[in-house]
Amino acid sequence: MEDSEKKHILDPASSRQLHSALTAGKDELYLVLQSPSIEVLRAALRNPALDEAHLLTLLKRRDLPEDLIKAIHKLPLAAESHNLKLALVKNPNTPGTIVTMLLPHLYLFELVAVCFLPGVTPDQKLAAERAVIQRIPTTPLGNKLTLARRGTAPVLEALLREGDPQVVEICLSNPQIKEAFIFQFLSSARATAENISMIARHPRWKTRPNIIGAILKNQRTPLIWFDLFLPGLNTAELKKLLASGRLDGPRKKSVEEALHRRRH
């Protein structure tokens, strides 16, 4: 054993701190948990007075090493307390394996909040998003509407795929939503006439060429949108639309008439 290690073990001040960590009462234990010494903190985990409130205070620290967090996770208190599970997930030093184990125990909007935590790792965010998406099919409509306002891009994509008009309308205004998702949605069976019209009149999407093209190629698009969008297309775009093979009789006729007007 090195001299420095012997000195540390025999240091009376360190011994007193460790003894205090093991024997402090509830109020004194809060002071112990402010210690910079990991050995002192580890000893405090064995204090009989330790309760949920102490651990919640400790988990607010951002300097805890992984091995100490693992020790906290193994405590019976952590297994019994929802608040401690959430605090463990929120601590940026909690190992990803523990975060993944704890995510199924969190409430829906706690999972959403995890996605936006400062310092959240990509893997942790992805795991939280997947947990949210798995719950979407059984989530009440009111919560889906809130998710549409707060969700990340993958969550919004999953909500869009369900095609509920009330949810779709809110998703369209969420800054997280991507044009590619809207394009894919317009090409899916969930794109009803009502949903297509929502997109076609939405100020964010109604001027996007790719979105307009997808709207015009959908056979469920109401004819009114052909009347409104076709005049804004050039001749080459009209010919491309006509050649797409995606138009039924009435919609094909609208494009042909628009081309005829260009020639005369």
pLDDT per residue as tens, the chain (264 positions):
444 444 445 477 788 889 889 999 999 999 999 999 999 999 999 999 999 999 999 999 999 999 999 999 999 999 999 999 999 999 989 998 999 899 999 999 999 999 998 878 888 899 899 999 999 999 999 999 999 999 999 999 999 999 999 999 999 999 999 999 999 999 998 899 999 999 999 999 999 999 999 999 999 999 999 999 999 999 999 999 999 888 888 999 999 999 988 876
CA distance 259 to 242: 10
CA distance 178 to 144: 18
CA distance 27 to 86: 24
CA distance 122 to 59: 21
CA distance 241 to 234: 11
Phi, psi of 12 (to 5 degrees): -60, -35
Q: Outline where DSSP puts E strands in the chain.
A: none
Nearest to 174 by CA among 190, 194, 159: 159
Given a contact cutoff of 8 angstroms between Cβ atoms, the answer to whether 41 and 58 are in contact is yes
